[in-house]
Amino acid sequence: MDWKDYRADEHFVMRDAPTDAKAAREAGLDKQTAAREMEKNIARCAELQDALYADGREGIVIVLQAMDAAGKDSTIKHVLSGMNPQGVSVTSFKQPSKEELAHDYLWRAVRALPERGRIAIFNRSYYEDVLVVDVHDMYKGYRMASRCIDESEEMFFKKRYRQINDFEEYLYENGFRVVKIFLNVSKETQKERFLARIDDETKNWKFSASDLKERAYWDEYMKTYQSVIRATSTKHSPWYVVPADKKWYARYLVSQILLDTLEACRPQYPELPRADRENLAACRASLEAEGGEGAKKEE
| Phi (first) and psi of residue 217, to 5 degrees | -100, 20
pLDDT at residue number 282:
86
C-alpha to C-alpha distance for 255 and 37, rounded to whole angstroms: 9
With contact defined as beta carbons under 8 Å apart, do 52 and 267 qualify? yes
With contact defined as beta carbons under 8 Å apart, do 257 and 181 qualify? yes
Angle at alpha carbon of residue 110, lines to 106 and 115, rounded to 5°: 160
How confident is the model over 35-62, as a mean pLDDT? 97
pLDDT at residue number 93:
96
Residue 297 confidence class, pLDDT cut points 50, 70, 90: low
The answer to whether residue 296 scores a pLDDT higher than 60 is no
pLDDT digits (tens, 9 = 90+) for 216-254: 999 999 999 999 999 999 999 999 999 999 999 999 999
| Percentage, residues of the chain above pLDDT 70 | 97
The answer to whether residue 151 scores a pLDDT higher than 50 is yes
Show the 3-state SS of the chain: CCHHHHECCCCCCHHHCCCCCHHHHHCCCCHHHHHHHHHHHHHHHHHHHHHHHHHCCCEEEEEEEECCCCCHHHHHHHHCCCCCHHHEEEEECCCCCHHHHCCCCCHHHHHCCCCCCCEEEEECCHHHHHCHHHHCCHHHHCCCCHHHHCCCHHHHHHHHHHHHHHHHHHHHHCCEEEEEEEEECCHHHHHHHHHHHHHCHHHHHHCCHHHHHHHCCHHHHHHHHHHHHHHHCCCCCCEEEEECCCHHHHHHHHHHHHHHHHHHHCCCCCCCCHHHHHHHHHHHHHHHCCCCCCCCCCC
pLDDT at residue number 3:
84
Q: Which residues contact 37 (CB under 8 A, 6 or more apart)?
A: 29, 252, 255
The answer to whether residue 271 scores a pLDDT higher than 90 is no
| Percentage, residues of the chain above pLDDT 90 | 82
C-alpha to C-alpha distance for 283 and 299, rounded to whole angstroms: 23
pLDDT at residue number 294:
47
How confident is the model over 1-24, as a mean pLDDT? 92
> Around 189, how many Cα atoms within 13 Å sit in the side-chain half-sphere?
19
- In the chain, the amino acid numbered 285 is A
What mean pLDDT value characterizes the chain? 93
> Around 239, how many Cα atoms within 13 Å sit in the side-chain half-sphere?
26
pLDDT at residue number 94:
93
C-alpha to C-alpha distance for 84 and 162, rounded to whole angstroms: 35
Residue in 60, 126, 135 with CA at minimum distance from that of residue 93 = 126
- In the chain, the amino acid numbered 76 is I
pLDDT digits (tens, 9 = 90+) for 80-96: 988 999 999 999 999 99
Task: Count the Cβ atoms, other than its own, within 10 Å of residue 116.
Answer: 16
pLDDT digits (tens, 9 = 90+) for 176-232: 999 999 999 999 999 999 999 999 999 999 898 888 999 999 999 999 999 999 999
Q: Which residues contact 103 (CB under 8 A, 6 or more apart)?
A: none
pLDDT at residue number 267:
96
Yes or no: domain 3-288 corresponds to CATH 3.20.20.150: no
